[in-house]
C-alpha cells in the first residue's frame, strides 16, 4: 500500500501508523517530516513480522490500528486539531471468523460503513468562545477538554438492534485516562487489546483506556428491553493532565447513548467467551539476549527517560534484528502517569509491579500504562526491519517535551559479530528495502476506514 501525503498546513507533520509493523522510513519517525507544501510517499508492505528463518508470525496480524501525527514537538497540537483516524485491517483468519458469522461483517452494504462493527474514537475537546479549537502551547502537563466526543461528535447517540455489536474503542485523547462501563453495569466481552485479537474473549465490566490504547469489544444488546436506553460511561475523574484523581461512580460522564430498538434479531453473530480467537505465543526466556532499564522521570520542569531529553541523533538502544530483549520500564513518581508506546512490534508485559498484569493486558500490547509508582517488565522482539524507531510517553504533551527514546534496530556481521547501526555509519537505513520487508502473503486494509 502506498499513501501519498500532501501537507497544505502551516505546520510540519509526520504520519505514524500506530500499532502497525512498518519499515522505519514509513513509521512516522518524529524527524521524517512532511513540511508545508511538500508531499511524501509512505510505503507499507502490510506484512506480519518475519522470523529469522523466513517464516511469518501470524499471531501478530493486526486488527484495530489507528494513525495520527507524530511530528517532533508538534504531535499534541496536530492530534488535538484532528490529525488522527482509524485503520482497520483483516487477514484470512479474521475473515474466516466473519464468514462463519462468529464476528460481524466489517464491510457494510453498498460500500457503506458496517452497521454492526463500529469504531469509536474517544476524545475530550476544548473550544474557544468562538467555537474554534482551543490550544495552549504552554500546557505541558497534558491537555484536558470538557467536551466529550465520539468520532468528533458531542453527545452522540446510536440506535442499536437487540443483538451483538463489535465496538473498537480508541483513546485518542492527549492526556485523559478513561474507565469505561455500561450504565446498566452489564458485562462486555473484550476480544482484542490494541492491534491484536486476544486468544479468546475476556468478560469485563470495566475497561481502562489510556492515550493510544484500543479495546476491541463485543456488547450484546439482545437482553436489553426494546425502548430502553444504555449509556457508555466514563467513571474516571480527572481534572489535571498529570494524572487522574481516581474512580468516581457517583458522577459518571456519559460518552455515547445507545437507544435499544426493535424485536429479537435472527442470525446474530455467535462469538462467546469460549470462542478461540488469535493464538498467542509467549516470547520464551531463551530468546532474551539483553536487558535494559528505562526510568521515566522529571527533571528541570520537564520529562526525561534515564535523565535525558529525546534526540534523534543519539541511539538510546541498539537491539540486533531477529533477537528479543527484556525492558524494565519504571515510573517512580507519585504525581504523574505515563502511557508508554513502543513502535515496530507488539511487546508482552510479563510483570506489572511484580505481578502478572490483568488478563486483557497479558498478551500482546503496544502501549503499557505506567500508573503512579509502577514498574513494568516487558519482552519485545525486533524483526523484519532495521533502522531508527522510537518509544515514548503517549501523553502527547509529555512526548512533545521529549519524553521519548530512539532505538535503532541493527544488523550484525555474522562473521565478525560487529553491529551495523544504521545512523552511526552516516546512513539512516543500512538494509536494502527490496529484501527487508516485502512479504509473500498479505493483510487487507479496510478501504472505507483508511480512506
Least distance in Å: CB of 407 to Cu ion? 18
Of the candidates 18, 24, 28, 26, the one whose C-alpha atom is nearest the C-alpha of residue 67 is 18
Least distance in Å: CB of 394 to Cu ion? 8
Q: Give me the phi and psi of 277, to 5 degrees please.
A: -110, -135
**Rounded-to-integer distance, Cα 193 and Cα 94, Å:** 15
Contacts from 123-130 at CB under 8 Å and sequence distance 24+?
Answer: 123/148, 123/149, 123/152, 123/172, 123/173, 124/148, 124/149, 124/173, 124/176, 125/80, 125/149, 125/154
Least distance in Å: CB of 403 to Cu ion? 5
Q: Quick check: 11 and 36 in contact, CB under 8 A? A: yes
Distance spanning both ends of the chain, measured CA to CA = 12
Question: Measured from the CB atom, is 145 or 241 closer to Cu ion?
Answer: 241
Cell of 440: 509473500
Regarding 123 and contact with Cu ion (CB under 5 A), the answer is no
Question: Measured from the CB atom, is 46 or 72 closer to Cu ion?
Answer: 72
CA distances, 267 to each of 164, 257, 270, 271, 430 (Å): 10, 25, 8, 12, 53
Max distance between CA atoms of the chain, in angstroms, equals 72
Least distance in Å: CB of 8 to Cu ion? 31
Task: Please give the distance of CA 85 from its chain centroid, rounded to a whole number.
Answer: 11
**Rounded-to-integer distance, Cα 108 and Cα 122, Å:** 22
- When binding is defined by CB under 5 A, the residue of 395, 423, 430, 446 that contacts Cu ion is 395
| Residues between 26 and 55 with contacts to Cu ion, criterion CB under 5 A | none
**Stretch touching Cu ion by CB under 5 A, among 146-154, 162-170, 389-397, 407-415:** 389-397
Least distance in Å: CB of 141 to Cu ion? 9
Least distance in Å: CB of 333 to Cu ion? 10
Tell the burial category of 310 from Cβ atoms under 10 Å away from its Cβ (0-12, 13-18, 19+).
buried
Could you give the string, one character per residue 80-99, with x where binding to Cu ion holds by CB under 5 A and - elsewhere? --------------------
Regarding 162 and contact with Cu ion (CB under 5 A), the answer is no
**Stretch touching Cu ion by CB under 5 A, among 60-68, 127-135, 314-322, 388-396:** 388-396
Regarding 398 and contact with Cu ion (CB under 5 A), the answer is yes
Least distance in Å: CB of 170 to Cu ion? 18
Question: Measured from the CB atom, is 76 or 218 closer to Cu ion?
Answer: 76
- Residue whose C-alpha cell reads 508538534 in the numeric block: 74
Q: Quick check: 365 and 193 in contact, CB under 8 A? A: yes
Q: Quick check: 88 and 107 in contact, CB under 8 A? A: no
**Stretch touching Cu ion by CB under 5 A, among 180-188, 257-265, 383-391, 394-402:** 394-402
Question: Measured from the CB atom, is 347 or 398 closer to Cu ion?
Answer: 398
Least distance in Å: CB of 248 to Cu ion? 22
Regarding 393 and contact with Cu ion (CB under 5 A), the answer is yes
**Rounded-to-integer distance, Cα 27 and Cα 302, Å:** 26
Question: Measured from the CB atom, is 145 or 211 closer to Cu ion?
Answer: 211
Of the candidates 165, 120, 125, 164, the one whose C-alpha atom is nearest the C-alpha of residue 147 is 125
**Stretch touching Cu ion by CB under 5 A, among 68-76, 316-324, 359-367, 390-398:** 390-398
Least distance in Å: CB of 175 to Cu ion? 8
**Stretch touching Cu ion by CB under 5 A, among 200-208, 346-354, 396-404, 420-428:** 396-404
**Rounded-to-integer distance, Cα 92 and Cα 97, Å:** 9
Contacts of 415 (CB under 8 A, 6+ apart): none
Could you give the string, one character per residue 316-355, with x where binding to Cu ion holds by CB under 5 A and - elsewhere? ----------------------x-----------------
Question: Measured from the CB atom, is 343 or 398 closer to Cu ion?
Answer: 398
Least distance in Å: CB of 389 to Cu ion? 19
Question: Measured from the CB atom, is 150 or 352 closer to Cu ion?
Answer: 352
Least distance in Å: CB of 337 to Cu ion? 7
Could you give the string, one character per residue 175-194, with x where binding to Cu ion holds by CB under 5 A and - elsewhere? --------------------
Regarding 405 and contact with Cu ion (CB under 5 A), the answer is no
Q: Give me the phi and psi of 442, to 5 degrees please.
A: -145, 160
Contact set with Cu ion (CB under 5 A): 338, 393, 395, 398
Amino acid at each position: 500500500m502506498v499513501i501519498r501525503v500532501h501537507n497544505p498546513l502551516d505546520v510540519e507533520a509526520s504520519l505514524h501508523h500506530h500499532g502497525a509493523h512498518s519499515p522505519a522510513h514509513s513509521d512516522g519517525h518524529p524527524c521524517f517530516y512532511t513540511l508545508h507544501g511538500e508531499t511524501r510517499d509512505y510505503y507499507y508492505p502490510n506484512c506480519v513480522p518475519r522470523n529469522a528463518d523466513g517464516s511469518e508470525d501470524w499471531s501478530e496480524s493486526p486488527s484495530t490500528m489507528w494513525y495520527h501525527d507524530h511530528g517532533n514537538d508538534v504531535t499534541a497540537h496536530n492530534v488535538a486539531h484532528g490529525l488522527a483516524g482509524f485503520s482497520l485491517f483483516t487477514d484470512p483468519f479474521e475473515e474466516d471468523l466473519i464468514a462463519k458469522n462468529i464476528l460481524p461483517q466489517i464491510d457494510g452494504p453498498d460500500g457503506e460503513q458496517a452497521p454492526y462493527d463500529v469504531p469509536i474514537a474517544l476524545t475530550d475537546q476544548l473550544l474557544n468562545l468562538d467555537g474554534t479549537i482551543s490550544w495552549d502551547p504552554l500546557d505541558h502537563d497534558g491537555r484536558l477538554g470538557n467536551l466529550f466526543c465520539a468520532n468528533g461528535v458531542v453527545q452522540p447517540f446510536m440506535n442499536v438492534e437487540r443483538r451483538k455489536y463489535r465496538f473498537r474503542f480508541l483513546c485518542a485523547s492527549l492526556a485523559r485516562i478513561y474507565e469505561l462501563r455500561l450504565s446498566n453495569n452489564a458485562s462486555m466481552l473484550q476480544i482484542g487489546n490494541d492491534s491484536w485479537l486476544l486468544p479468546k474473549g475476556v468478560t469485563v465490566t470495566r475497561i481502562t483506556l489510556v492515550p493510544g490504547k484500543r479495546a476491541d469489544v463485543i456488547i450484546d444488546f439482545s437482553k436489553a428491553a426494546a425502548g430502553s436506553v444504555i449509556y457508555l460511561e466514563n467513571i474516571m475523574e480527572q481534572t489535571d493532565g498529570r494524572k487522574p484523581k481516581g474512580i468516581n461512580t457517583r458522577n459518571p460522564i456519559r460518552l455515547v447513548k445507545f437507544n435499544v430498538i426493535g424485536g429479537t434479531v435472527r442470525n446474530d453473530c455467535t462469538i462467546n467467551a469460549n470462542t478461540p480467537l488469535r493464538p498467542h505465543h509467549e516470547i520464551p526466556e531463551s530468546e532474551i539476549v539483553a536487558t535494559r532499564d528505562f526510568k521515566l522521570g522529571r527533571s528541570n520542569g520537564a520529562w526525561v527517560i534515564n535523565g535525558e531529553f529525546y534526540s534523534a541523533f543519539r541511539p538510546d538502544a541498539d537491539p540486533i534484528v531477529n533477537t528479543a530483549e527484556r525492558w524494565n520500564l519504571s515510573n517512580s513518581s507519585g504525581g504523574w502517569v505515563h502511557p508508554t508506546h513502543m513502535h515496530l512490534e507488539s511487546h508482552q508485559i510479563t510483570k506489572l509491579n511484580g505481578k502478572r498484569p490483568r488478563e486483557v493486558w497479558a498478551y500482546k500490547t503496544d502501549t503499557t500504562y505506567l500508573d503512579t509508582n509502577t514498574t513494568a517488565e516487558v519482552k519485545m522482539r525486533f524483526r523484519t526491519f532495521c533502522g531508527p524507531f522510537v518509544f515514548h510517553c503517549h501523553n502527547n504533551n509529555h512526548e512533545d517535551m521529549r519524553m521519548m527514546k530512539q532505538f535503532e534496530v541493527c544488523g550484525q556481521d555474522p562473521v565478525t559479530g560487529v553491529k551495523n547501526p544504521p545512523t552511526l555509519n552516516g546512513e539512516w537505513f543500512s538494509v536494502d528495502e527490496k529484501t527487508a520487508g516485502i512479504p509473500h502473503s498479505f493483510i487487507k486494509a479496510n478501504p472505507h476506514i483508511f480512506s
